[in-house]
Amino acid sequence: MGRSELETVLAEATHRRFPTLSVVVHEEDPAERVSILTSGRGRHFVLTANGRKIILHWLTPGQVFGGAAVVSTPSRYLASTEVVSDSCALVWDRKTIRELMMRYPVLLDNALSIAVTEHIAWLIGARISLSSDDAPSRIADLLISLACGIGNEGPDGVEIPVGNEDIALGASVSPFTVSRTLSKWQQDGILRRGRGKVVLLQPEYLAGQWTGPQLPGREFMEIVSAAR
């Protein structure tokens, strides 16, 4: 988009701030708003009938949530969205974003691209992780996916801002299993645990346990670079 077109689109947005652990979109609510995260971190989730929380997809700055609001037929959100740190987002109401998409068709092209690439790729990764034969493999698969999605490269390795409970929810294992597995990997020098974070020191070990589709090369950092 040209600069003037982009400024027009941004001028129609409302800037919102959300405190840590706010649920900003509720499952089954009418899809009335679409947003782009500009800072912080978030994630989609659903609750099962017995109240179990299932994490679906993590969000980082630049990613869209509430996309159901752009379709022509009024619909409801399929999942809830929460922020896990103080966050900001640009928000458009349904009427406004649809008018902008008719005026600037590239917006619709971008929305379809996100749905086909980012969201389906995460869905494939999650499904592969859940089909792994054992808990350590599921945890390894999840950490690889999280490193690609929300990891930050540092001097020692890739820092992933998640705690044991987040990993347990994502890999469908118990927090005890996560704690035991990460403790062993920490003793082996594969990673370092911190408060609310995991730093992968030897990510190539987890890449060796990757059960997903064939990826180019064995070096984990190449996988991260290609995915991001």
Closest to 132 (Cα-Cα) out of 209, 32, 47: 209
Tell me the CATH number of domain 134-227, given options 3.30.420.40, 1.10.10.10, 3.30.70.120, 3.90.550.10: 1.10.10.10
Residue 147 to residue 160: CA distance in whole angstroms: 6
Per-residue model confidence as pLDDT tens digits over 203-224: 777 766 544 444 333 344 454 4
pLDDT in the model for residue 108:
85
200 has pLDDT over 80: yes
CATH class of the domain comprising 3-127 = mainly beta
Least confident of 34-48, 104-118, 157-171: 104-118
Residue 205 to residue 191: CA distance in whole angstroms: 10
> Hey, where are the domains in the chain?
3-127, 134-227
Helix 135-150, helix 120-130: angle, nearest 10: 160
- Average pLDDT (109-122) is 70
Per-residue model confidence as pLDDT tens digits over 152-169: 888 888 888 888 988 888
Q: To which residue do tokens 């995460």 refer?
A: 122
pLDDT in the model for residue 97:
94
140 has pLDDT over 50: yes
Residue 181 to residue 228: CA distance in whole angstroms: 26
For the chain, what percent of residues have pLDDT higher than 90?
A: 39
Least confident of 54-68, 91-105, 106-120, 174-188: 106-120
Give the model's confidence band at 133: pLDDT under 50 very low, under 70 low, under 90 confident, else very high.
low
73 has pLDDT over 60: yes
Q: Is the pTM of this model over 0.75?
A: no
Mean pLDDT score across all residues of the chain: 83
